[in-house]
Structure 1
Amino acid sequence: MYADRVLSGMRPTGSLHLGHYHGVLKNWLKLQHEYECLFFVADWHALTTHYDNPQALEEHTWQMVIDWLAAGVDPNRATLFIQSQVIEHAELHLLLSMMTPLGWLERVPTYKDQQEKLTDKDLSTYGFLGYPLLQSADILIYRANRVPVGEDQVPHIEFSREIARRFNHLYGREPGYEEKAEAAVKRLGGKKAKLYTELRSRYQQQGDEEALESARAILGEAQNLSLGDKERLYGYLEGGGKMILTEPEALLTEASKMPGLDGQKMSKSYNNTIALREDPEAVSKKIRTMPTDPARVRRTDAGNPEKCPVWQFHQVYSNDEVRAWVTQGCTSAGIGCIECKQPVIEAVLRELAPIQERARAYTEEPDLVRSIIADGCEKARDLARETMRDVREAMGLNYG
């Protein structure tokens, strides 16, 4: 198995914008030189919230892949593929669903959060409840041990770790493991055996971390257990045995510092984005018409950069010298807002130019893009099949 394998995916939402570039793609460009990377289009995940409108899915998928390639994701360094074209994701998701406690899914923080935010959609679906498990299957099928996420996604990685641990506990055991473990529990003595069993049940069913720690403490103090029995009971408690599925770790990424045109987070839902392939004239116009410090009603009014969305763009695109010029000019009314915006326009267009040039080449050769994805899907399938062979064997599903 590869020592460090990274997996990351994006839901296909069509053409990408600067928020995606600064928040995800620049990180992918760095990671592809440091690890074995698999980057995938999460089209099944898109259906968890947009199941009623799949018409645009295919077009959005190809446009997003073009943006990845245009941004500099290198198919010679990373495997690019589409989730739904590697059917093993669905098989592993199904098999994992057989052993995943319902309570584990219901306590994933984004479950209720998304339901409250997306009130216009009926998200009381089996697919939406199970999407964290599908996410786990995406990771575990490749035995990826590094997953780049922001702080808000860390609970999803912890959930995937628990799923891998539970699977390994249930199916990765030595012959007679259950009987040996239960015999070792009895050797703890009446009260301790009962308490250990209760705590184990609380951890296994509810993911109760305090119960896990208490049970570990009981084993740590146990005097009458052999080392083998102790190790067996630690495994029995939290999922020991043969490591069939690899527990992934979160590779923390910085939050994108790229604001939207109005100072909020850049998002299509706020209509405040600059697309990676947007026409230069349209980009210039969008930046020229950005809102500024409300105190600067007239050209002669002094302003405060901290209260202006344009200043946030200067934080991303300008050097210290330009920022000093902006601060001095704005607070003294020495420069107007249009002047202040000009260096930002130039810097954004400079960043977009090579991306747009590469995008044109890929747009003119759709067969090349399809070929890159076909190769990536084949590589991904090979890895996924390897994992599924082990999973089926562990679960007693290898007939023949």
Structure 2
Amino acid sequence: TTGYMDTGQLDENIDHLMADYLACGLDVERCNIFLQSHVKEHAELHLLLSMMTPLSWLERCPTYKAQLEALSDKEITTYGFLGYPCLMAADVILYKAEFVPVGEDQLPHLELAREMVRRLHSLYDTQIFPEPQPLLTQAKILPGTDGRKMSKSYNNTISLGEEPEAVRKKVMSMKTDPARIHKDDPGHPDICTVFAYQKLFNTPEKVDEIEAACKAGEIGCVQCKRALHEKVAAWHTPIYEKRSDLLNHQRPYLRELLADGSAKARAIAGATLQEVLRAMQIDY
């Protein structure tokens, strides 16, 4: 949607994302992983949803407005970008998902998907899809390293494929409390990017300890970043190493998994799409 003019890396990105999933521990015996573009029903359901979704619904999406401003240097005033929620909805409802793991910033998109479901059901007097509900994790939303919304478009992410030294540099350059000039100045952890990550990588008791030390000026930002990096590295490095092994020695296996998963997905997606076409009376 934002990188449509540069497709040269897509093929490589497929292998990298598969390696990400497996390195993070997804079990292919329990998770069906497939390539969206190999299941054409996604594009067809997206088209049908786009025909019945009011333009005002898409324009009010807060993520759309925010990214238009943040990525003003890119030509993204396209239908593909505006209508992306229709494709997201198709991705979810095509498999009749009841719950979707999302970040807090994606809740408006999921609500929009539910509205599309209600509209389709109302227009064609049918009941095909459940209304998907959010499944929020402990980290409902995590800022980027610069304090803004985390996005590859902003180049403020920490990738699973980044070398450990690159991760260290990113952690050590994270944005902190701008009002804190000296090490012993009282801090404001609620506006600190580093503290947002500390909450994810530490126990509640340790988080309380870090918060109190920051507010009292007993811990400096550099010291806090170093402690955070130790936690991040302990989690990131094993994933990085497993990911590297998959990409260096097991690429055919990754593609085999994708082919098998896409075949399974097509069978389910095809049956669901036929339900939609029958309800719309266009299954000829």
- For Structure 1 versus Structure 2, the TM-score category normalised by the shorter chain is 0.7 to 0.9
Report the equivalent of 2:240: 356
Any unmatched runs of 5+ in structure 2? none
More strand by share: 1
What's the TM-score once normalised by structure 2's chain length? Answer: 0.79
The change in CA–CA distance for 1:270 and 1:161 in structure 2 (over 3 A counts) is closer
Q: 2: CA distance between counterparts of 1:306 and 1:79?
A: 43
Q: Residue type of the partner of 2:267?
A: D
Q: Tell whether the 8 Å contact from 2:139 to 2:200 is kept in structure 1 after alignment.
A: no
Matched, 1:368 2:253: yes
Q: Tell whether the 8 Å contact from 2:41 to 2:266 is kept in structure 1 after alignment.
A: yes
Identical residues among aligned pairs (%): 47
Larger deviation: 123-132 or 270-279? 270-279
Aligned-residue CA RMSD (Å): 3.4
| Matched residue SS, 1:121 | coil
Q: Residue type of the partner of 2:82?
A: L
Aligned positions of 1:76-91 closer than 5 A: 76-91=29-44
Cα deviation, 1:177-225, whole Å, max 9, x if unaligned, reads xxxxxxxxxxxxxxxxxxxxxxxxxxxxxxxxxxxxxxxxxxxxxxxxx
Q: Tell whether the 8 Å contact from 2:100 to 2:132 is kept in structure 1 after alignment.
A: yes
What's the TM-score once normalised by structure 1's chain length? Answer: 0.59
Q: Tell whether the 8 Å contact from 2:144 to 2:151 is kept in structure 1 after alignment.
A: yes
Q: 2: CA distance between counterparts of 1:328 and 1:60?
A: 42
Q: 2: CA distance between counterparts of 1:266 and 1:101?
A: 28
Bigger relative contact order (CA 8 A; separation at least 6): 2
Larger deviation: 360-369 or 50-59? 50-59
Cα deviation, 1:228-276, whole Å, max 9, x if unaligned, reads xxxxxxxxxxxxxx31333323334454565555555555455554332
Which of 160, 177, 183 is the aligned partner of 1:276? 160
Q: Compute the displacement of 1:339 (Å).
A: 5.4
**Which structure: larger Rg?**
1
Q: Compute the displacement of 1:132 (Å).
A: 1.8
Q: 1: CA distance between counterparts of 2:49 and 2:220?
A: 60
| Matched residue SS, 1:147 | strand
Cα deviation, 1:3-23, whole Å, max 9, x if unaligned, reads xxxxxxxxxxxxxxxxxxxxx
Q: Tell whether the 8 Å contact from 1:168 to 1:243 is kept in structure 2 after alignment.
A: yes
Q: Tell whether the 8 Å contact from 2:105 to 2:141 is kept in structure 1 after alignment.
A: no
Q: Compute the displacement of 1:145 (Å).
A: 2.0
Which of 150, 163, 181 is the aligned partner of 2:116? 163
The change in CA–CA distance for 1:388 and 1:286 in structure 2 (over 3 A counts) is closer
Matched, 1:302 2:184: yes
Q: Tell whether the 8 Å contact from 2:49 to 2:86 is kept in structure 1 after alignment.
A: yes
Matched residue pairs, number? 278
Q: Residue type of the partner of 1:80?
A: I
Matched, 1:385 2:270: yes
Q: Residue type of the partner of 1:302?
A: D
Q: Residue type of the partner of 2:167?
A: V
Matched, 1:127 2:80: yes
Any unmatched runs of 5+ in structure 1? 1-47, 173-241
Report the equivalent of 1:239: none
The change in CA–CA distance for 1:369 and 1:324 in structure 2 (over 3 A counts) is same
Q: 1: CA distance between counterparts of 2:121 and 2:211?
A: 58
